[in-house]
Structure 1
Amino acid sequence: MTTPPGATAEVTIAGDSDVVRVRQLVRSYANQAKLSLVDQTKLVTATSELARNTLVYGGGGTATVQLVDDGRRKGVRASFHDEGPGIGDTTLALADGWSSGKGLGLGLSGARRLVDEFDLDTEVGRGTDVTVVKWAR
């Protein structure tokens, strides 16, 4: 099945099976955006970590996946939202090699390295929003 440009899909993240659904959706969109196999793998890995973080640290939330086109290239945007406790120290959370020990071991810094664009918006008591984009080369 082909998804039209600009199409958006949302997945509620409430359990492990939802993390798997996010991975499958991202892989499908990445394939349709014609990302290379290496870039598909990078994006799926990053979004898997972010979906797991949404579940484990945010208490669940949503993932929104969208095919994007900036006129020069196609790509995939994935946004994760939770209403959890937020991140108190973003500098530490984004530090290379830092992990709480509960995720895949990549942490936010690892996810950031795997994508072309990374945006983190968080506040203690408000939750966290993370948006990533991977562009076809």
Structure 2
Amino acid sequence: MSNIDVDAVVLPVRSDEDVVRLRQSVREQMIAAGFSLIDQTKMITAASELARNTLRYGGGGEAHMQKLLNGARKGVGLTFIDHGPGIPDIPRALTDGYTTGGGMGLGLSGAKRLADEFELESAPGQGTTVRICKWKPY
């Protein structure tokens, strides 16, 4: 994602209440940027899944929310960062149904489908960073 980040906001992801606040902040940012209700819902859902993963599997962390500019394109980006145990097998973790925590195993793969861009970096023992963005159609 080679974009210009404008007005980055850092949001804590340390409790269920933080996840609720993050969802609301993403909604407000998407509305302010003029996204459709469908795109708002996609980004809010992806953000919620990734925030819950940050909390549940990464022991908490933070989310960076940015307005993005890439030429004439405008978007909203989110970066989730934790310092948890990391993901040892990223391709497997992105497979529908794979879980290490008893859930449905759709969080990462679902977030990837809902976002226009998705990047995941992780190393065992060093944590995980996930970046997503949604671009406003012209």
Q: TM-score, normalised by structure 2?
A: 0.90
Aligned to 1:33: 33
Q: Is the 8 A contact 1:53 1:103 kept in 2?
A: no
Higher strand share: 2
Deviations 1:78-128 (A, max 9, x none): 000000000011111101233445557532011000000000000000000
The answer for the alignment partner of 2:57 in structure 1 is 57
Matched residue, 1:132 = 132
Q: Which residue of structure 1 aligns with residue 10 of structure 2?
A: 10
Cα 1:79/1:18, change in 2 over 3 Å? same
Q: Distance in 2 between matches of 1:20 and 1:43?
A: 14
Letter in 2 for 1:69: L
* 3-state SS of 1:20 partner: helix
SS in 2 for 1:7: strand
| Cα deviation, residue 33, structure 1 | 1.5
Provide the rounded CA distance (Å) in 2 between the counterparts of 1:71 and 1:119. Answer: 21
**Which consecutive residues of structure 1, in runs of 5 or more, have no partner in the other structure?**
none
Q: TM-score, normalised by structure 1?
A: 0.91
Match of 1:84 in 2: 84
Contact 1:49 1:103 in 2 (8 A): no
User: Among the aligned pairs, what percent are the same residue?
Assistant: 53
Count of aligned pairs: 133
Distance 1:104 1:50, change over 3 A: farther
Show structure 2 runs of 5+ residues with no match.
Answer: none
**8 A Cα contact 1:93 1:107, kept in partner:** no
The list of structure 1 runs, each at least 4 consecutive aligned residues, that deviate by more than 3 angstroms after superposition, is 99-105
